[in-house]
Amino acid sequence: MLKSVAVILQEPVAAFEYGVVCEVFGVDRTDEGVPKIDLRVCGIEPGKPLNFTTGAQIVPQYGLEACADADLVAIPAGRVSADYPEAVLDVLRAADKRGAYILSVCTGAFVVAAAGLLNGRSATTHWKYGAAMRGLFPEVDVNTDVLYVQEDNIITSAGTAAGIDASLHLVRTELGPTVANKIARRMVVPPHREGGQRQFVKEPVPECDNDGFGQVLGWMLSNLDADIAISDMAAKANMSPRTFARRFRDEVGTSPLRWLTEQRVLAAQGLLESSSQGIEEIARRVGFGSATLLRHHFSTAVGITPTAFRSRFGCVG
């Protein structure tokens, strides 16, 4: 269970990336049924002001010792380097050794890599610094096509707003989709974003309302229980199946059938958490057709079976 988070600040502090960690894990939302999380803002020298990249300052209340028993140690973005204070690297190594989560936002992944914790693992960072990370840490499998990567207890996220995606993913994993959805709603962000960084490298992604994609996505979500084929989606968008599949991937960031499967899994999570319906009925309602197919896709996407998920997060007796 995620009860405590320690965020380590180093100069220069990236304001937005630090704010992401605070917004997701540090805001008291107990009035909405969200468990309160103990957020500790840590620095090498507690009480010493640190400079933001934007000209302001922040004073960390805690020293690095406050990280010793935290369930999550978070590293916001900072300078791109292979050289960081050994005290910070030791804290990360100790957290990894005891099985705590480690979350980096944007270039914070460089600190985790410098600690040696990403060797032989897949990780991500801002697409702009992917080549630099590969050069400094050749033993890390750097993937800049994704919004975040989880390898065991370590989560690395891409540039800036992708830290929100990674943080909500961790909340969803540890506290369930209902809590993640409540936090996302308060933040006015989607609880789960599709696609990857490649959307943002050359030009912004077109609005989904263009060419009818917004309507098609809405129609698919409203008809999850139906047998939807590529030809059906293409007809809704007034395109040929081939053109639709290509344009869908360009705009949404994944294939139409994969997106539809992910939405069905998310819908199944909600029903498993909030209802007492049987697995077969839930499979029918979300469009998988059979409990066997639901179990296959659910386990692939979530990492546990529907029954195990319900046992962990179900709120219906």
Per residue in 158-185, pLDDT tens?
Answer: 988 899 999 999 999 899 888 998 998 8
* Rounded Cα–Cα distance for residues 76 and 44 (Å): 15
Longest CA–CA separation in the chain, Å: 62
Let me know: does 24 contact 56? Beta carbons within 8 Å: no
For the chain, what percent of residues have pLDDT higher than 90?
68
pLDDT for 110 equals: 97
pLDDT classification of 196: cutoffs 50, 70, 90: low
Among the listed residues 136, 179, 162, 160, the one whose alpha carbon sits nearest the alpha carbon of residue 32: 179
Q: What mean pLDDT do residues 252-259 have?
A: 85
Q: Which phi-psi region, left, alpha or beta, contains residue 265 (left: φ > 0; alpha: ψ -120 to 50)? A: alpha
């028993």: which residue's tokens?
69
Q: Residue 251: pLDDT above 50?
A: yes
Amino acid type, 112: V
Residues 76, 111, 160: CA angle, nearest 5 degrees: 30
* Rounded Cα–Cα distance for residues 55 and 109 (Å): 23
pLDDT tens profile 11-67: 999 999 999 999 999 999 999 999 999 999 999 999 999 999 988 999 999 999 999
pLDDT classification of 193: cutoffs 50, 70, 90: low
206 preceded by a cis bond (ω within 30 of 0) = no
The two three-digit tokens of residue 22, written as one number? 């605070």
pLDDT tens profile 208-247: 445 557 788 888 888 999 999 999 999 988 999 999 999 8
* Mean model confidence pLDDT for the chain: 89
Q: pTM (2 decimals)?
A: 0.68
pLDDT classification of 198: cutoffs 50, 70, 90: very low
* Higher-confidence position of 85 and 299: 85
Half-sphere exposure of 63 (CA within 13 A, CB side): 3
Q: How far apart are the first and last CA of the chain?
A: 21
* Rounded Cα–Cα distance for residues 231 and 166 (Å): 33
pLDDT classification of 201: cutoffs 50, 70, 90: very low
pLDDT for 303 equals: 77
